[in-house]
Amino acid sequence: MFELLQIDSQTKARLGKLTTAHGVVDTPVFMPVGTQASVKALDPRELLEMGTQIILGNTYHLNIRPGLDILRAAGGLHRFMNWEKPILTDSGGFQVFSLAKIRKIKPHGVEFRSHLDGSPLFLGPKEAMEIQRVLGSDIAMVFDECPPHDAPAREQKLAVERTIRWARECREQPRVDGQLVFGIVQGGSNAALREECARALVAMDFDGYAIGGVSVGEPEAEMLKAIEITEPFLPANQARYAMGLGTPAQMIELIARGVDMFDCVLPTRVARNGTAFTRRGAFGLKGGAYKADFRPIDETCDCFACKHFTRAYLRHLLNVGEILGLRMVSVHNSHLFLKIMADVRAAIAAGTFAAFYRDFIADYVPSQRVLSARQAEIER
């Protein structure tokens, strides 16, 4: 259940509470991505210490490894990974349409081959919901079709038709007690298709609604447009989730447009390449400019990495391949994303979000290296 607590007077930013079987989530919220039942390079204690409220798991990957028999025997995903707070699981639709090089769309799902060993697989609404039922996630996502952003108009239309049909099939499937199910709006940057898809899903009365097909390689302006043309057709009294987004600035932009929930692999993925986020943008720590830089990654940050290590030391670790380096940058990036969301919630509550939004965007310098959150994504 979602409770809308407050709307900013100058923007569409919203303060809310999402009640799930494993606890209450304050929104706006960032969800670290735990694709393989683990947020890469971080342990549950660290996630809790930095204020993580909910994490995301991946239906496609967990179904392949370790498989449903192991997850069923373990008692579900929460017990398997020792995480007591809420978990959202995606349906696997994005992976089927992005990772599978050979696939055949059928009326009730997709035949494809595993990206690992080429073995034949089938995933559709029934299968996706069964997997998520075994996982025992607090929020299950419907199985949808996510075509490329530059797909022809006819392909986008067919994808919307399948998404609506498959959402209805997902709605009919059994679920574990207390499990919420979110619909996913597709339609690319076509306003009419987005409206058609949103209206059809809202009529099915899901527990929340996601905006899919964004941050899949399209220009940022097109991504913002897709959000803007979808948001008016989503219920005000239910959670809104922009899938696979994004950089700190992108999340702030979308919060101002009425979005409540976000997930993204960027904090840990780019950390493995030595890229650190700050409130002013991202930079690469491996560069020679930081060889004798004994400041923390971010002098305004109070994460474990910034309180204990310098840029020079972390640069050294990254360049010699020591695991501690990528772990500490992952800690910093994840902490930063979560802290920004906490600051956003405080600003909305105080009635100062408009100024926060203006100042944040003015100070943030985008990096072309990290703008597309899902374009090269293989973690989800």
Pick the CATH number of 2-264 from 3.40.50.150, 3.30.70.20, 3.20.20.105, 1.10.10.10: 3.20.20.105
Helix/strand/coil percent split, the chain, to 5: 45, 20, 40
Each residue of 146-158: pLDDT tens digit? 998 899 999 999 9
Q: Specify whether the CB–CB gap between 283 and 336 falls below 8 A.
A: no
The structure's pTM equals 0.95
Report d(CA 243, CA 112) in Å as an integer: 23
Residues paired with 109 in a beta bridge: 106
CATH 3.20.20.105-classified regions of the chain: 2-264
Each residue of 159-211: pLDDT tens digit? 999 999 999 999 999 999 999 999 999 999 999 999 999 999 999 999 999 99
Q: What is the 3-state secondary structure (H, E, C) of 333-359?
A: HHHHHHHHHHHHHHHHHHCCHHHHHHH
Q: Specify whether the CB–CB gap between 282 and 367 falls below 8 A.
A: yes
The two structure tokens encoding residue 21: 């079987």
Q: What is residue 238's predicted lDDT score, i.e. its pLDDT?
A: 98
The number of CA neighbours under 13 Å toward the Cβ of 38 is 7
Contacts (Cβ under 8 Å, ≥6 apart) of 339: 50, 51, 301, 303
Each residue of 21-34: pLDDT tens digit? 999 999 999 999 99
Catalytic residues: 90, 263
